[in-house]
Structure 1
Amino acid sequence: MIKTNKMFLTASAMILSVSAQAFTLKGVVVDNSTKEPLIGATVQVGGTTTGVITDIDGRFEIKDIKGKTCTLIVQYVSYKTQEIVVEKGQKDELVIALAPDNQQLDELTVVAKKNLENERSLMMERQKSSVAIENIGAKEMSTKGISNVEEGVKKITGVSVASAGQIIVRGLGDRYSTTTLNGLPIASPNPDHKLIPLDLFPSSTVKNITVSKVYEANSFADYSGAHIDIGTKEQTGEDFFSLSFNTGGKFNTLGKDTYQMDRDGTLFETPSLDNKLRDMSLVDFEEYAGKNQLFNTSFDVSRSKSLPEFGGNVGFGKNFDINGNTLSLLASMGVSNEQQTMLDASVRTLEATGTTLNDFSYDSYSSELKIAGLGSLGYSFRKQDQLNYTFFYARNAIDNYMLREGYDYEDHNLIGSNNVTHVYTLQNHQLGGKHFFGDKWSMNWSGSYSKTSSDEPDRRQIMFIREGNEINLFKLNRQETMRYFGVLDEKEWVGNLSGDYKFGNQNKLQAGFTYKDKTRDYSSTRFYYNLNKLNPVIGGEEDIYTPSGFLNQEAIESGLVSISRSQQPKDSYTAGNKIYAGYILADIYPVEALLVNVGVRYESSKQWVNYAEDGGKLQRRDLNSNDLFPAMNLRYQLDKRNSLR
């Protein structure tokens, strides 16, 4: 028995000794002359099956190498194979420089998906691009703590974002730029802005952002500032599952008092107005309003403590092998909330002559909910051909309560308690394909359906007037105490077909056809409160926050308060736009260092709007045009690292 134990201890010691001799090697493989990293080089431990492939930065890591020394065999296509003897204890990162092999290969085809999340890959895209572009990828956004596309765009040279969320490029505002999602136009849910709010897109769903400040013939010709393209993520690497959470808060908000007007449900759902209140006649409405409760909310304001902000994201990616072809699946979803308190702010409205129309100071308390989901399905076949489907959904719901006090243009000392809820939603479907026919011909096709909405449900306001030491209801303007319900829906269909022909060493000819069909519907309904017969005693702030003590259903049914509905023909409109476009574009190298990108685009556009004048007379306006848009971009490559555009 003792002998057996000794043998066991001896064997354990041998195992520990061998394990202690294992070590790890890290290094980078570069080109001997240019020092550029070599992506996909093979690094193998001689005499074993252990080996790795260098990543996009040319780096590698090999673990659990047995023994005190090993021989690394480094290979890369069109480079000379190199063998290096490395001893255990190597602390510095190995730098392996491969020399080019001057042997000429008959033909070489490398088939792979580019990972355009990495800084180095995007830098190469900028260098090779026919036009001047700037871009930022997912990895750089993650490093810099960028949470959405709006923050990412701010990091790009020459682009700034105004306080209202508008993009400014070289001094040109929102109307001079355009936004696309994976190269296809995407509609804005905000009628005041041409560009979709970029904070709808969280960085967890974005592969990269590309900004082009010049025109190219294969884009819609509705911009002269910048073309902002948002590329969504796709599964290009190894299978993964990720789960992340974050929490925090703003110094002037966290743990402090916050106020919120009575809310119907949560920000996860959008309050709606009963359709019968819109559809019934005015006579029927007035009779109905005097006997029935119309709304699920009041003008009351509640106070609470601001809680920490919380967010989370879950992601999943997997590749499936189907008879030698690859099916790639990626899904990501994120939810987050934000709170913001703004105290002692002020706003003043002036005439052109400098006369003050109104001057108010205010405190505001806002809460925001953001939801975003991305699904991507890709299928690769015939080595290079690809089919892709992408679904993107986003919802931004913002609830803002404001208490303001100041003077209007008639010097009335007014106190206003108002609440605005705004809900933006986006749903986008994209289907596309890329096909190759031999070495010279290729075809791209894509289509998208986008649906956006901008809801402003139940905007409420109640106004008071300070008269000496008293606070009373403000009755001079019946429109001051009111509710507003507004909704804007926009739908857009886009189709694109293009073909490429390569000739010579680098020259390329591209031709294509694009179609876009957009429709927009807007309607609003207002409810005004007549308070002339209501004379409550308002003691102070508490009564301002709890007006349900006097402005309630009992007061309505007794006749002290009446509600009128304003829903005129001018409060709604429908509009549409159809564009048929064709273009031809060429990349030509008269000499090796000079690229001439030249093209022309033809667009036939038909716009229309149906609306009503103030008197209710229905009108229609049409704007039809046929335009030709030529474009030319030049790039002269001074050397491998410097170009003049």
Structure 2
Amino acid sequence: MKLKFLLITLFITAIGFAQNNGTVTGTVTDKDMNNEPLPFASVVVKGSPISTNTDETGYYTLSVPAGQQTLVFGFLGYESKEVSVTVKANETITVNEILASTSVQLTDVVIEKQVSREKETALLLQQKNAIEMKQNIGAQELSRKGIGDVATAVAKTSGISKQEGSNNVYVRGLGDRYNSTSINGLPVPSNDPEKKNIFLDIFTTDIVDYISIDKVYNTKLFGDFAGGNVDIISKEYRGNGMFEVSVGSKINTNALDKSSEFYLQDGPKKSGFFKSDYPANALTSFNYPNSLNAQKESMTPINFGFKAGQVYNIGEEGKLSLFATANFSNGYEYRKGLNQTMNAQGGVLNSFQQERFSYNTNTTGMFNAAYRLNPNHKLSYNFLIVNSSDQYRDGYSGIIRDLAEDGTGFIQRGTYVQNTLMINQLLGNHKLNEKTALDWGVSYNTVKGDMPDRRQNTFADTGADGTLNLAQVTATDNHRYYQNLKEDELAANIAVSRQIGATGEDGKSRGKISAGYNGRFKKRDFEAIQFNFFLNSAIRFDITADPNRLDEIFNPTSYANGDFSVNTYSGSMRPQTYNGDLDIHAGFGTFDYKFTDKLTTSIGLRYEKIDQSIDYRTQFETGQSDFNRNEFLPNLILKYELNDKHNLRFAASKTYTLPQFKETANFLYEEINEVKIGNKDLYPSQNYNADIKWEFFPQRDELISVTAFSKYILDPINEIVISSATNDISWVNIGDSGYVVGAELEVRKNLYVIDGEFENKLTGGLNLAYMKTHQDLDPEKVARETDNSMSINPTDKTSSFTGASDLLLNADVSYTKNWTADKGITATLMYSHYSDRLYAIGTLGKGNLVDKGMGALDLVLKTRLGKHLGIDLVGRNLLNPEFERVQENASGTVPIINYKRGAYFGLGLTYKL
């Protein structure tokens, strides 16, 4: 009876209390983002425990006791606002507020900690609200997973993988030629003569606000698209002043075991900055600046860098944001394993045990200045410089066809590659009136890709004592090679948008019309020259040589004595060259409209005028290749909001795929076990794309999505061995058509959350992609379209796409525990796996080359020991699986390449002011 009386009393009291309350509602917006809604801002009744957070649209509602109250609006890194309100019982009032990030006056510099808004929750909100079908990876997720470069970040998303041993990124089974890369929406040139896209691993995540991945085409993108576009959004500083210094080191377990015998070639510097050119009189004297002797390397793995940012108020509405970062890192690696070529019957052509010592560096510097004149006008300037270098010293021991078929051969090759990229961008965003906006951007980029002084020497053991003698079968067996690439690119974007339709209760129009122009103007200059050292025929197998002391053989004295001669392909100092030009003028228009509260449609049309030409002068001929295209590219996107947590999306589009410069130049490029040559008759493919996607957002930081996709490609371009005396590799439009079909699953979920003042939770992520690819192989089509200058003899009539895996998997589990606002720990365990993938199409009766499936396990531990200090521990490739490439002959599978990369361990220290 007493219990019943108590419950009734509490119920009546609660009713009476509620009747004395009023309701305050409103929207909180972000002044720095042109008054866009600010999700997850706090709204507190001052002096009471009553509080709430804004939802994904910036909206809040709060039950407040009647009377005079003070509301406090806040967001981490933003200036808090206090607003006095009079609340009446049983009535609702609306209080809207605008917050701005904290900053200082231009004359008053105060260094405090940095706050980044690029959180996983904010990017999920962006994904939920956007009509485009995008995936975003933000700075918070990159930090949690300890990801240091953009390539690794991209490979952690669904349907995307990175090829082992190369810089190729595959999106839904489609490789480099089908993808594109941009920074802040503006294109970036390639740093490799064979590739369309710049290597993503040269971009450190320190420069990244977030990475946006479009796997569905929209008309704002250039039409050379089938797999996906990776857009790197560069860091723009917001919040209080910040200065951060970091230092660390990483080691490779394989390299550590070889630390006492780690040899590289002479010349390249540890800094990664190196300039070397061949002698002007290389055919009449021997006076190279770099020694052929191997140099023992003292291993000093290190990485260090700094970040600095500040925001200044200028006048009543102006704000200047400055951000700068610079980083240097290096690494040592070692691997050893099988590398061989086989015929259709499983017989050995060349068979080696390959031993590789390698050293790499990466230097990155970025400066960003963003000036907001007022809430309606903003200008930004971005400068980025990236210098990367890779140095390899490879030794191939074993069977050399026609020279050392008893297995006593040895080939040594030293390779150094340096790539330097400079990017300049100027961007503008303008709100002309309440309904009209103008956005524009221009960029000028340069890239230099140099391979100075690649050295190769060939040996054979002709005696019983195991000593090596210099040997040769062809003039190219002993040589020095120089390659230079320079590419300049100017790009421009401009777009005008106008809101249309009636304005809803949320203050937004129901639709938008956009129109704009994109221009891209690229020029590439490429040259290469190889100096072949031809040994005197009388002593070609009698020169005992130490591979580490080759200056004893190749020197000015022995050259003057006639022990060897020097020649080039042309017999002169004239290098082989090709010069490429690509001009694209594009106009586009889109119509976005919300026909109902649930259905939104985007219809777009893009026109591109494409002119690509290439002139070349090689060892074979002087010639040119060009084509002109007019492309009309429609696209359709539908978004249906089942409710506030579920979206259903559909997209369809038409795009194309261009041949690359080097693929159309009749230029020969030699590797140890393969030779490539261009095809002047190559022409673009046509692509038809369709996607359907369901999204579910259970909580603000959770996501479950399922996507089905398909691509139909006409005249697909493939790399394949052509039928010739030397069986070179070239590129051809291999058949009439091909297709890709597949499905993706993505899950982000809070597995366990402990309520409290500070974060304490376990989260998990999973993305899974399953796909099938198919293409027809038509030798008659290739012969017909190349006027019989090229022919192919594929072993099968059909194949999958090169680089495609049936199954891709990424999974991660993270535990975060914060003890105070400045002390905490995050541990993340990540696993990735790809199934068997086609590396090369089988020809001449040989089976396909297939990379066997493998997985990788990583562990990242990040700690904050206080306001200023943090320590990170990273372990990569902890399982150290064996990479294996096989040739699937009819008579059985034979191994082609195998090795283990070793595990990687890193320790980092960060200090913030």
Match of 1:238 in 2: 240
Spell out the pairing of 1:244-393 with structure 2 (5 A cutoff): 244-254=246-256, 256-257=259-260, 258-274=262-278, 276-277=280-281, 286-287=283-284, 289=285, 293-307=286-300, 309-324=301-316, 325-343=318-336, 345-351=337-343, 356-393=348-385
Match of 2:210 in 1: 208
Shift of 1:206: 0.9
**Hey, what's the Cα distance between the residues in 2 that align with 1:60 and 1:243?**
35
Q: Deviations over 1:505-556 (max 9, x none)?
A: 331111001111000110011111122265697768xx22212223322211
- Aligned counterpart in structure 2 of residue 553 of structure 1, from 556, 562, 568: 556
Given residue 573 of structure 1, which amino acid in structure 2 is its aligned partner? Y
Q: TM-score, normalised by structure 2?
A: 0.58
1:442-501 CA distance string (max 9 Å, x none): 000100011112110000011111224253210332211100000111111001111011
* Structure 1 unmatched runs, 5+: 1-32, 41-54, 62-68, 86-98, 278-284
Deviations 1:412-451 (A, max 9, x none): 2321122000111111000010001221000001000111
Is the contact between residue 57 and residue 120 of structure 1 (CA under 8 Å) also seen in structure 2? no
Structure 1 counterpart of 2:593, from 567, 572, 588: 588
Conserved 8 A contact 1:458-1:485:
yes
Going from structure 1 to structure 2, the CA distance change for 1:512 and 1:304 (only over 3 Å counts) comes to: closer
Which residue identity is paired with 2:294? V
- The alignment's TM-score, normalised by the length of structure 1, stands at 0.81
| Residue range with higher mean Cα deviation, 232-241 or 76-85 | 76-85
Q: Secondary structure at the match of 1:150?
A: helix
Describe how 1:22-41 pairs up with structure 2 within 5 A: none
Q: Does 1:525 align with 2:526?
A: no
Q: 1:496 aligns with which of 493, 496, 508?
A: 493
Provide the rounded CA distance (Å) in 1 between the counterparts of 2:402 and 2:195: 32
Distance, in Å, in 2 between the alignment partners of 1:124 and 1:195 is 29
Partner of 1:125: 126
Given the alignment, which residue of 166, 172, 177 partners 2:179? Answer: 177
Change (3 A) 1:611 1:600: same
Matches within 5 A, 1:212-231: 212-231=214-233
Among all aligned residue pairs of Structure 1 and Structure 2, give the percentage whose two residues are the same amino acid. Answer: 25
Q: Deviations over 1:303-356 (max 9, x none)?
A: 34534x21012011011222121111100010000110112x121124567554
The separation in 1 between residues aligned to 2:398 and 2:156, in whole angstroms, is 39
C-alpha displacement of 1:179: 0.8
Report how many residues are paired: 564
User: What's the CA shift for 1:185?
Assistant: 0.7
Equivalent residue, structure 2, for 1:79:
61
Q: 2:638 aligns with which of 634, 637, 643?
A: 634
Q: Is this contact kept in 1: 2:272–2:362, CA < 8 A?
A: no
1:75-104 alpha-carbon deviations (Å, 9 max, x no partner): 88863474799xxxxxxxxxxxxx998545
Q: CA deviation at 1:274?
A: 4.8
Structure 2: gaps (5+ residues): 1-22, 31-37, 70-86, 103-114, 502-508, 650-913
Residues in 2 aligned to 1:226 and 1:454: alpha-carbon distance in whole angstroms? 24
In structure 2, the CA distance between the partners of 1:251 and 1:39, relative to structure 1 (3 Å rule), is: farther
Indicate the residue corresponding to 2:682 in structure 1: none
Matched, 1:405 2:394: no
1:447 to 439, 442, 445: 442
Q: Matched residue of 2:302: which SS?
A: strand
Deviations along 1:176-233, one digit per CA (max 9) or x if unpaired, are 1111111111111112221110011001111111111111011100011111111110
- 1:364 and 1:83 mapped to 2: Cα distance? 73
Describe the shift of the 1:101–1:493 C-alpha distance in structure 2 as closer, same or farther (beyond 3 A). farther
Distance in 2 separating the partners of 1:610 and 1:423: 25
- Asked if the contact 1:370/1:394 (under 8 Å) is kept, the reply is yes
Of the structure 1 ranges 560-569 and 293-302, higher mean CA displacement relative to structure 2 is found in 560-569
Residue 162 of structure 1, CA deviation: 0.8
- SS of 1:120's equivalent in the other structure is helix
Q: CA deviation at 1:58?
A: 4.8
- Over aligned residue pairs, what C-alpha RMSD do you find? 3.3
Aligned to 2:138: 137
Q: How far did 1:159 drift?
A: 0.8
469-478 or 580-589, which moves further after superposition?
469-478
- Kept in 2, the 8 Å contact 1:259–1:401? The answer is yes
Structure 1 residue 380 displacement after superposition: 0.3
SS in 2 for 1:139: helix
Instruction: For 1:350 and 1:548, locate their aligned partners in 2 and report how far apart those are by CA, in whole Å.
Output: 35
Check if 1:456 corresponds to 2:458.
no
Greater radius of gyration (CA): 1
Q: Is the 8 A contact 2:279 2:287 kept in 1?
A: no
Residue identity opposite 2:139 in structure 1: A
Contact persistence 2:278–2:482 (CA under 8 A): no
Distance 1:145 1:591, change over 3 A: same
Q: Indicate conservation of the 8 Å contact 1:536/1:550, yes or no.
A: no
Cα distance in structure 2, aligned partners of 1:377 and 1:56: 26
Structure 1 letter corresponding to 2:415 = V
CA distance in 1, matches of 2:28, 2:481: 61
Q: Secondary structure at the match of 1:238?
A: coil
How far did residue 570 of structure 1 move?
Answer: 7.7
Question: Are the aligned partners of 2:576 and 2:618 in contact in 1 as well (CA < 8 Å)?
Answer: no
